[in-house]
Structure 1
Amino acid sequence: MRLIMFNTTMGVAAGLALMLVPRFCAVMRGDRPPLLLVNRKPAGGGWAATFGVLGAILTGLGFVMTVWHPLAPAKDYIDTIFGEPSLILGVLLLAAAWYLARTGDPLDPERLRTALSPASWVVFWLGIVLAWCAAAIARFDVVSSAPAEEPITGLLHDWPMIENLFFAVVLYGLAAVGCLAFPFAIRPNSRIAWLLMYWAWTVSGVAFALFSAMNFYTHTGLLINLGTDGPGLRW
């Protein structure tokens, strides 16, 4: 049975994108929110390269996960819940990278805001998609619990609702809130929507990246444990 996909790499890339996009917006707004942790100069070259790398990962792997269905027969609906939104995000990041590389330095915040206006429609509807994904996760036990043989997350094997709620609320739910706030956040003097987007994507992005990075360990341990004879599991 094929259990392992590449949602580990994709999850880290998606998490980083969710963390970096609002920080890029903060730089362009000249704002200084907590935990900015990036240079405040509005230079587009480094941002273009970073968005291009993340976009290439998400577009390439998201495309394979979307069209090569079912990629993992154990949970074939993950192609829809995770692969397709990742593909949309990847293409958006590639478009952003192309625009920033083409525009050059220094970036003009007003011109960028104008360019983001039509793209905000796509981001908003990605939020609608993520909201329905969150509802499906909570309603249909999509994530469920990790196998008992999987290190760390396998400790919650008997409580599937914990992982389902984590995915539905913290990962997908907050990411959806940020997307829905995005069209309003890019407007001038939109303080409430801007902060809502910033913190929703920051928290969701950190959670996505940390959880997906941890899965490099847990998924490896799962394969080792499934291939080990006897009841003893390695944690």
Structure 2
Amino acid sequence: MVIDWSVTQVYNTIMAVATGVALLLIIRFGKHLRREKIGQLEGWAIGFAVPGFILTITGAHMSLTWPLAQIGFPFDDIIFGEPSLAFGVLLLAAAVLLWRKSNQFISQGVNVKNSMDVSKLLKEELPALLKPMSYFAAAMGLGLIFIAIAGVTYQLFAAPPEEPISGAFADYPWVEAIFISGLYAITGLGALLFPLILKIKPKPSLIAIVKWCWLIAGVLFVVFGAMNYFTHIGLVVNTME
């Protein structure tokens, strides 16, 4: 197998890492907020903005130019590009909200270095602030679930034999299809339930489901994305003209 790498770009490595880190940051943020130890909001805003920026620019480029179509995988431009773009914009929106809330607290005379005071105020205001954009998150979560169904139905995501590690399962496409589809499905389930936990007294069971969905998905996205830095470099080396 020979691929002309001059006509395409493959960067779902950094997309996966950024997605995983962002999911874990959301879980961490919620944990700190619940314990009233949220700390400096500017730090959290930048923390969300970094993966948000990466996912927005890479997702937008992939969604608008379809680079993977040049090497025979046009469906991957939809699967990786559009969810990354959507998640990136949502993260940037969250970053702007947190940054503005920090400035607002300062102007109101709130001691922003007092984690308990900031956490109590955020607990009251954040659900209402996040509720409008949570509906788009839920809609994209439903989209992720259907991507997972498509992945299993058409046995997508199988790596070519030239790719190290993942390529060992090239003759068993259902293995990677189930793994990646499952990853998309649990991420989507968490997003689909997200609006339901933005209540004054959300059900603990729903919070637990969202938490574990995104915790598992976050860890797997980071590990798989990091591993792909080796496997994708190997694929390029093994398929260069």
Residue 33 (structure 2) pairs with residue 19 (structure 1) = no
Residue 128 (structure 2) pairs with residue 123 (structure 1) = no
1:127–1:178 CA contact under 8 A, matched in 2 = yes
TM-score (norm 2): 0.85
Unpaired segments of 5 or more residues in structure 1?
32-39, 229-235
Shift of 1:69: 2.3
Identity of aligned residues (%): 39
Q: Which residue of 2 aligns with 1:196?
A: 209
Q: Which residue of 1 aligns with 2:99?
A: 101
Q: Which amino acid aligns with 2:50?
A: V
Unpaired segments of 5 or more residues in structure 2?
103-111, 113-117
Task: Write the deviation string for residues 128-184 of structure 1: whole angstroms up to 9, x where unpaired.
Answer: 1111111111111221x2111211111111111000000111x10110111112112
Task: Write the deviation string for residues 3-25 of structure 1: whole angstroms up to 9, x where unpaired.
Answer: 75110011100111111112212
**CA RMSD after TM alignment:** 1.7
5 Å-filtered alignment, 1:1-235, equals 1=3, 2=5, 5-30=10-35, 40-73=37-70, 74-104=72-102, 105=112, 106-107=118-119, 108=121, 109-143=123-157, 145-169=158-182, 171-187=183-199, 188-227=201-240
Shift of 1:70: 4.3
Using the TM superposition, name which of 40-49 and 176-185 deviates more: 40-49
In structure 2, C-alpha distance between the alignment counterparts of 1:132 and 1:193, rounded to whole Å: 21
Figure out how many residues of one structure are paired with residues of the other and give that number. 218
Using the TM superposition, name which of 175-184 and 63-72 deviates more: 63-72
1:55–1:93 CA contact under 8 A, matched in 2 = yes
| Larger helix percent | 2
CA change 1:227–1:66 in 2 (3 A) is closer
Task: Write the deviation string for residues 109-144 of structure 1: whole angstroms up to 9, x where unpaired.
Answer: 11111111112211111111111111111111221x
In structure 1, C-alpha distance between the alignment counterparts of 2:14 and 2:131, rounded to whole Å: 30
In structure 1, C-alpha distance between the alignment counterparts of 2:88 and 2:177, rounded to whole Å: 24
1:141–1:161 CA contact under 8 A, matched in 2 = yes
* Superposition misfits of 4+ residues, deviation over 6 angstroms: none
TM-score (norm 1): 0.87
1:4–1:72 CA contact under 8 A, matched in 2 = no
1:175–1:204 CA contact under 8 A, matched in 2 = yes
CA change 1:224–1:70 in 2 (3 A) is closer
